[in-house]
Amino acid sequence: MASHGTDRRVVITGMGAVTPLGNDVHTFWQALLAGHCGIDKITRFDAAAFDTRVAGEVKSFVPGPAFPSPKEVRRADRYSQFGVFAGHQALLDSGLDLNRENRDEIGVIIGSGIGGLETTTEQHKILLERGPSRMSPFTIPMLIGNMASGLFSMYNGLRGPNFSTCSACATGTHALGEAWRAIKMGDAQIMFAGGAEATIIPIGIGSFCAMKAMSTRNDDPKHSSRPFDRDRDGFVMGEGSGVLVLEELEHAKARGARIYCEFVGYGNTADAYHLTSPAPGGEGAARCMKAALRSAGLDPSRVSYINAHGTSTPQGDVCETQAIKTVFGQHANKLAVSSTKGATGHMLGAAGAVEMIACALAIRDGVVPPTINYQVPDPECDLDYVPNTARQMPVDFVVNNSFGFGGHNATVIAKKFVG
């Protein structure tokens, strides 16, 4: 096993994505920079009776190449299919030859906020209509939230640290932070980390509708998710997965890996306040960002860009804005802050990982993705949200925020790699 020591540096060497904007990283990134929107009317079921009838659906998804056989695909819930497929993409992108690696030192953390909700719904219907003897023996393995991690490790023989994070909308970012810690502490050389979610089904949409949490701008799907805009009226559900390869620097250099950026900080706090509402003033989010900056040994004035959680909810966007001002002071007015959820919808447990891919590519390409659908400024949200058009600019340090129901906060920081 690798030697221990917190001075170990960690870099990102591979990425994979399944999103409403496309089912690979390149397609996702080009669509995001072009200001495209992956949100439209729901097609996966008849949503006529629902208050919200729009979502960011994954289209034209074919999971087969990432699975050993069609039978294994059928034994995986849609969320696991997304996670395994994104992991497979990340593996190919990284250039890793697993036959030349010690697989005891390669781990997987692919989290899910909700897990196999579709399987749960389908099997419960079978239980009620046809009885318990007709339920699938794969019900539990398909619905549990750790199985994307489990399947990806099994298919690739990865025997290092393996578990799943579950912290609602902070899930993917927590997975990345815990993977970074595993490498820093010498528990692994390489970690596949991210999140996966698939909840665009009647119970998923209906439950969030009952909370009055989602946009009801059903006649204008492309403009329904509008982070930081004065007329925002709730989030829009998305689905998909993002998985990144985190790797110990010397190991990456020894194999000649392409390095996207360096992962340098992680913060993790609780609001301890309310089931669904953020703490007043974004107090918990502010402590989280401060913790991430502290772990990175980074002065706030050096941050170039924040990929905001920015869900398009009336309260959440205000609290995050307040938290950024608390942490960054006068520098907050010089920051580029954008939310990509106007384009993808809110991918719940997958959001933070997909947004980390956007952060890594912002560093690589020197361009910040826009906050689309930003039309009417909100006096309470008065930062530079990179409205509607991507911006060319030097990006040296990025902060990626995710905040989840239950008061879970996660922030990670990456920087341009300098050998």
Residues serving a catalytic function are 169, 309, 346
Q: CA angle 385-369-31, nearest 5°?
A: 135
- A 10 A CB-CB count for 12 gives 30
Q: CA angle 309-243-265, nearest 5°?
A: 55
Query: How far apart, in whole angstroms, are the C-alpha atoms of residue 387 and residue 338?
Result: 8
**Closest by alpha carbon to 115, among 199, 188, 232, 42?**
199
CA atoms within 13 A on the CB side of 148: 40
Q: Give the residue carrying structure tokens 């390669």.
A: 106
Contact at 8 Å (CB) between 200 and 239?
yes
- For 75-85, give one letter per residue: b (16+ CB within 10 A) or e: bbbbbbbbbbb
Contact at 8 Å (CB) between 246 and 12?
yes
Rg (CA), the chain: 20
- A 10 A CB-CB count for 416 gives 17
Contact at 8 Å (CB) between 194 and 175?
yes
Contact at 8 Å (CB) between 101 and 190?
yes
The one-letter code for the residue type at 99 is N
